Structure 1
């Protein structure tokens, strides 16, 4: 099989992976989404969601709700942390900001700020303490924002904290991660969820660790470090469930809760997530739960290298199997590789939260296997066509099919082995030729010869012989190549006996047609020869050469002639010694051209040699 064709395909696939086009990246991200959907739900007893829903608008009027009303409702919450996932960047149109700020000052409240292309105020909220560990500042790894929408200053002054509600969308528009830090106006601002966690823990600051490549983690002292990518973003585990309350039922919320307030009425903003559409405060709640649980969805950058190397190794193994083994073994191996890659990816996620990409390896294995299988099929098809073209004229159809289905049964190109050779010639051909010549019927002569040779050929093929060639009215055949035949001597002599019987039958038919009688002479020898494809690059035949072949030809020239006219079949002692079911008798010794020693010759017994 020309595996280099498939290696080119593999190289192209690896190049595509390194370029990571949109479709490939989207497929990989979709698989990671399916892993999240397959996780068991984690129910939070502490984090609750408050929805500003249709019921809220029916009760309090249009949105935004007047802040005096909102303050009075929030005042019903006791001993809980309140995260307001709502922007208060504009003054309240009813003048309720002061009352709203007064109520917030008695609550543990965190308000939202949002990146924007403009800034709504010159006021900056108090800086939250940060401690950066590392050789580089965290600001180096976060892009500078154009603007920021802050809450009204009076609201900021009354709240316990603030944080950004930005999100990072992937190429397919789905939110799977969020930056924990934003860089604006020369300082870092924490994410909304991160500051809620800081306020809940009672810490006054958070810590940032960097190295020369980027941000490593962000940590609130009372919690485990939150591992981020080099840009400071963190993947969110979305398989959490939270209790929900309408904004009209705040008095029903248990004390000690972390409350995230957001809008859910018709027309509210919707965020695409791995779990489907969510409201923005659902995303914030899932991020808080992710950090509290210490869930770290990890995909180190070196995973790309490991995935490419795994794909390369598995693909090369597949190609080697396609070249050396049959398609069934290769197909089973392919199935094992594909399922192994898939189950490994799912297992390491469910066990360690490592995100290993099976999409590219499986896609590459499918394409490489498909290409390799096609090349193997095409190569085998061409080989079968070659075998049928080469052997179709001198092997039986069944034997040709055997060779085509399993070319390993033969060895082409030259092989030394023991075989049995048969030469058969029509004796008394001249009178028949003269008969047709006198009648000016050359076509009739050719028809008679072809019919006779066809009968003899069928006998040889039916007994597993290979027709080497036709030489006028002579047939040359052999046994034990290209297909093995353990009783090759027996089958050759059996063919000669049946040729005698068929010739006697045809003699009676020819006599009834007024044709001269014909006889047949058959010589058989067994010995070692060279068998294989012989000829030129443009034309060759599968044939045999050697002294053993020549001896068979010499014995054929003796049969049914001269002193041996009564012996239509003559074979050597080398053949006789291998007969087990045919009885032989000696008919003398002859000297043949090219041999110094006398050759013992035999024929079968008159009753056809069948032992009782």
Structure 2
């Protein structure tokens, strides 16, 4: 049994430890498929932070978005627009006071020069003189829209977009690399390289102030939560559109990648822009500090700018991002705050975040150690806490612990701008709490089943339900308690059994035990056992019962009444009637689930139990159906009693008084007889043997007369109620013996019984 318990304990502790170890390993070396799903779930938690936490403070810069929206396309025409329109748009923005114009539009193909094409295809072109052809060519070239667009850059600072290709080697346009310092330490961890690009055409690249990539970094679920500030192509690092715009806005010649050297490896730590360090991950990515849904920044329709319908100062000292929110142009992205977030506003949001790098959430170098420490702390707390709680309290504790983990994570996010993973911590709490709660419910189910199995045959259903609803109210372990125990036995059972066949005896006993058991359970008793014709029951356990003594006496009267009713059936059947003796004692007993590894029983043991058994045996000697000890009489004070004797039972030196409780419905003649008998016995115990002899002799005559007056039906009751003549005869014999051999001077009135 001890080995079995040890095995269960090891299993109970090993499984949660394995769960903790599994979660620790999964945090750092999860299988690719699982890691992909975990990233998706972690992304959802990030989305919740962005949506429900207060947005980061805005900087004071004027960020405007000029939108090539559906209305502009309807009014001006579908894309691609003529470059002269973009030149005009740039000029208008410059005239309105814009400091910087950032185009989230790709100009990787030159626009056809219609005038030049017409000149080159003119049939008379060959008949012109060289000077005429040169003049005509120069005039046609001056009509080139790309040159007009590039010339518009002279009046304002413009940043253009390029697109890097991860697959394929197609390269178009001219890529600018001057905005990033390329010097890197040895052992630098490589970025995931790109192999192609689509950049602005050479005239635009030459005229523009800067150039940055417009690539979007999608997570596994297609959402854009972070953006790369740097990408690598041909061993060169290139800035993003927002980073390049911020560099030019900050009047910085170059941005400088900051590296962290570890042994022979160097890892990207961030990007230095002037005096500001932008923390990034090793791939140069930052989290996008979304400030809400689309249209967080002021939008102006491109058509309104081109048609001079804007007369306010919204573009004064502004950084203007030019892009599109039109559905058909495929620049709408899925983000934590919207499934149709314009790509141009993502660049504007990143630029806004770079303006306040102290508000950009990031993961520090020590994030893995912090998560390991958090998981160990939370895991060990769960291992210590949950085994001490019940299933329902474990659910509450798990919710509180999960809320605490979330609160700490959000506090670090909002107060210290730290982006630490949250999913695995919550999964750890969930797994351990589900295990312990499931184990608790299983343990509770086993406990309920065990309680039901132990007490189903011994307790009334209502008590079993109370035990199941409140298992803590009962202890199956051995404990000392004040209880009352009852023994009931059939007199002359040996003779009855010899007169009946085995089958008939079994049916007769079943008929007898059923009403007796019902009477005990009806008075909240606990059936201990059946041994042959004997029934043993007790009160006060497993449920507390302050009135255990009174209820045991009530049950005894109910048993006597049930047997009287049963005897009428036996007489009608021609079966032997049952005469019973009941002994009750109250006192300190040991109660619990006792036994061996192979068989156990919820029972009571102790000297007080043995005394109850002795009293049941004495009922036959005294001819009474019910005897209780003086200890029971002291506690069951709501009954009348007749002192039967003062005895020393076998194994005991101190004498005790034994009594017969008198039922409240006892006929008045019998009650009077008992009162007179009590007076006679009082004289006996005070050594007034002459008075006792006279009174007992008179009572013997009255008892015979009373018995003769009873009907046959009442005789059955008399047999189980009290055979007064036998008790009188006992005391007459004792007085006669004392008349010949007087008792010693220290006689205490007790009688020794040496038989069990």
Which of the five TM-score ranges fits, normalised by the shorter chain? Answer: 0.7 to 0.9
| Residue from 255, 258, 281 that aligns with 2:316 | 255
> Is the CA contact (8 Å cut-off) linking 1:141 and 1:215 kept in structure 2?
no
- Is the 1:582–1:608 contact (alpha carbons within 8 Å) kept by the matching residues of 2? no
Aligned to 2:35: 21
Provide Cα deviations, 1:378-400, integer angstroms capped at 9, x if missing partner: 22222222222222112222222
- 1:141, 1:230 within 8 Å by CA — same for their partners in 2? no
1:272 to 304, 320, 334: 334
Structure 1 counterpart of 2:240: 191
CA contact (8 A) 2:593 2:603 kept: yes
CA 1:273–1:501: 2 relative to 1, 3 Å:
closer
Q: Post-superposition shift, 1:228?
A: 1.6
C-alpha distance in 2, partners of 1:123/1:407?
80
Higher relative contact order (CA 8 A, sep 6+): 1
Partners of 1:318 and 1:330 within 8 A in 2 = no
1:269–1:279 CA contact under 8 A, matched in 2 = no
Q: What is the CA distance between 1:557 and its match in structure 2?
A: 1.7
Gaps of 5+ in 2: 1-8, 114-143, 672-756
Tell me which residue corresponds to 2:747. none
Query: Which residues of 2 match residues 421-500 of structure 1 at below 5 A?
Result: 421-429=485-493, 437=500, 445-500=505-560
**Using a 3 Å threshold, how does the CA distance of structure 1 residues 511 and 357 change in structure 2: closer, same or farther?**
same
Contact 1:297 1:354 in 2 (8 A): yes
Secondary structure of 1:175's partner? coil
SS, match of residue 334 in structure 2? strand
Contact 1:428 1:517 in 2 (8 A): no
| Deviation (angstroms), 1:160 | 1.8
Measured in 2, the distance between the counterparts of 1:129 and 1:431 equals: 114
Which among 596, 606, 610 is matched to residue 546 of structure 1? 606
Q: Which moved more, 1:306-315 or 1:399-408?
A: 306-315
Unaligned runs of 5+ in 1: none
Deviation track 1:539-570 (CA, whole Å, cap 9, x = no partner) reads 23223333433332222222133xx12x2222
Q: Is the 8 A contact 2:188 2:267 kept in 1?
A: no
Partner residue in 2 for 1:242 = 297
User: Relative to structure 2, which stretch is displaced further, 372-381 or 335-344?
Assistant: 335-344
1:296 positional shift: 0.6
Cα distance, 1:226 vs structure 2: 2.0
- Residues 1:138 and 1:105: Cα distance change in structure 2 (over 3 Å): farther
**8 Å contact kept, 1:426–1:519:** yes
Label 1:264 to 1:533 Cα distance change in 2 as closer, same or farther (>3 A).
Answer: closer
Given the alignment of the two structures, is residue 285 of structure 1 paired with residue 285 of structure 2, yes or no?
no
Contact 1:522/1:569 (8 A) holds in 2: yes
Distance, in Å, in 2 between the alignment partners of 1:335 and 1:284 is: 39
Equivalent residue for 2:387?
Answer: 323
Please state how far the C-alpha of 1:470 moved relative to its aligned partner.
1.7
Equivalent pairs counted in the alignment come to: 600
- Secondary structure, counterpart of 1:162 in structure 2: strand
Report the more deviating stretch, 142-151 or 458-467: 142-151
Q: 1:208 to 1:498 in 2, by over 3 A?
A: same
Asked if 1:89 corresponds to 2:108, the answer is yes
Question: What does residue range 114-513 of structure 1 map to in structure 2 within 5 Å?
Answer: 114-116=163-165, 117-118=168-169, 120=171, 125=176, 127-128=178-179, 130=181, 136=185, 140-212=189-261, 214-221=267-274, 224-239=276-291, 241-250=296-305, 251=308, 252=310, 254-270=315-331, 271-275=333-337, 276-294=339-357, 295-300=359-364, 302-303=366-367, 306-307=370-371, 309-310=373-374, 313-314=377-378, 317=381, 322-429=386-493, 437=500, 445-507=505-567, 510=570
Measure how far apart 1:195 and its partner are. Answer: 2.0
Contact 1:308 1:361 in 2 (8 A): no
Indicate conservation of the 8 Å contact 1:139/1:187, yes or no: no
Decide whether aligned partners of structure 1 residues 483 and 247 sit closer, same or farther in structure 2, where only a CA change above 3 A counts.
closer
The residue aligned with 1:75 is 91
Give 1:201 deviation, angstroms. Answer: 2.8
Deviations 1:496-548 (A, max 9, x none): 33333444455566556666664321222334444333443222322333343
1:241-281 deviations in Å (ceiling 9; x for gaps) = 22223333334363322122224445313233223223332
TM-superposed CA distance for 1:481, in Å, is 3.0
RMSD: 3.5
CA contact (8 A) 1:138 1:208 kept: no
Q: Describe the shift of the 1:125–1:400 C-alpha distance in structure 2 as closer, same or farther (beyond 3 A).
A: closer
Return the alpha-carbon distance in structure 1 between the equivalents of residues 54 and 653 of structure 2. 93
Higher-helix-fraction structure: 2
- Note the alpha carbon deviations across 1:70-111, whole angstroms, 9 max, x for none: 324422332422112233333332243333322222321122
Give yes or no for contact 2:286–2:362 (8 Å, CA) kept in 1: no
Separation in structure 2 between the aligned mates of residue 321 and residue 181 of structure 1, nearest angstrom: 47
Closer, same or farther: CA 464–301 of 1 in aligned 2, 3 Å: farther
Could you tell me the TM-score, scaled by structure 2's length?
0.70
C-alpha contact 1:582 1:604 (8 A) present in aligned 2: yes
Deviations 1:141-175 (A, max 9, x none): 53443234333333222222222223322222222
Q: 1:494 to 1:263 in 2, by over 3 A?
A: closer
Q: Tell me, what secondary structure is at the counterpart of 1:267? A: helix
What do residues 439-488 of structure 1 show as CA deviations (whole Å, max 9, x unaligned)? xx765554443333222222222333222222222212223333333343
Q: TM-score, normalised by structure 1?
A: 0.85
Aligned twin of 2:704: none
Task: Name the CA shift for 1:220/1:5 in 2 (closer, same or farther; >3 Å).
Answer: closer
Alignment partners' CA distance in 2, 1:451 and 1:140 = 91
Q: Is contact 1:139–1:188 with CA below 8 Å preserved after alignment?
A: no
Distance 1:525 1:57 in 2: 103
Distance 1:4 1:179 in 2: 44
Aligned CA distance change for structure 1 residues 576 and 183 (closer, same or farther; 3 Å): same
Task: Tell me the distance in 2 between the aligned counterparts of 1:407 and 1:258.
Answer: 71
Bigger share in strand: 1
CA drift at 1:29:
0.9
In the aligned structure 1, how far is the partner of 2:654 from the partner of 2:85?
Answer: 128
